[in-house]
Amino acid sequence: MKLYWELFSVFFRMGAVTFGGGYAMLPILQREVVDNRGWCTNEELADYYAIGQCTPGIIAVNTATFIGFKLKGLAGALLATYGVVAPSFIIIGIIAALLQNFADYAVVQNAFAGIRVVVAVLIFNAVVKLLKSSVVDKLTACVFLAVGLLAFFLDVSPVLFVLIAGALGVAAKVLWKGAGEK
């Protein structure tokens, strides 16, 4: 029963303090579910993020659902999911009721400008951590550079990149295993 409460409360706290969406949540997820609780590894978290990118919905919600499911099945998935979205519903409801009255105030506009800068830094730090754990050899470095360049120059769905990279990973493993057996 304790783990159910932890799933809900950890994801509730993350949902309450994360501004900027799923990518901004990555460093908090790494700290809470990988470093502090050991609920998954960095590699598993990267996999959950990749799958979350390919499935409908919000990445942070999908990732919470995957972690909850891994730990406690359907009930864990539901609790983690509810935990991560409940603060948004509460906060958005309050902001929607009040924002029209305060949106033109300079202090509110400046606060949002500051928050955007912090979110950019958090996302950058998360990307650096993912790079360190994901780009581990020449193949992954080539995939990273190729996808990075293609994503920069082409307007292609991230799902396509994830599927192609997954296929390359499988093909490389099959070829590597086949070359090792000869």
Whole-number pLDDT of residue 75: 96
Q: What is the largest CA-CA distance in the chain?
A: 72
Residue 2, pLDDT score: 92
Q: What pTM, to 2 d.p., does this model score?
A: 0.60
CA 12/CA 28 separation, integer angstroms: 12
The answer to whether the CB of 63 falls within 8 A of the CB of 85 is no
pLDDT given at position 37:
94
Q: What is the pLDDT of residue 6?
A: 94
Q: What is the pLDDT of residue 182?
A: 46
Residue 180 pLDDT: 53
For the chain, 182 residues long, give each residue's pLDDT as a single digit of tens: 899 999 999 999 988 887 666 677 788 888 899 999 999 998 898 888 888 877 777 888 898 999 999 999 999 999 999 999 999 889 888 888 877 777 788 888 898 889 889 888 888 888 888 888 888 888 888 888 988 898 899 888 888 888 888 888 888 878 876 555 44
- Other CB atoms within 10 A of residue 91 CB: 13
Alpha helices in the chain (DSSP H): 2-17, 22-29, 42-54, 59-102, 106-134, 138-153, 158-181
Q: For position 24, what pLDDT does the model report?
A: 74
The answer for residues whose C-beta is within 8 angstroms of residue 39's C-beta and 6 or more apart is 33, 67, 70, 71
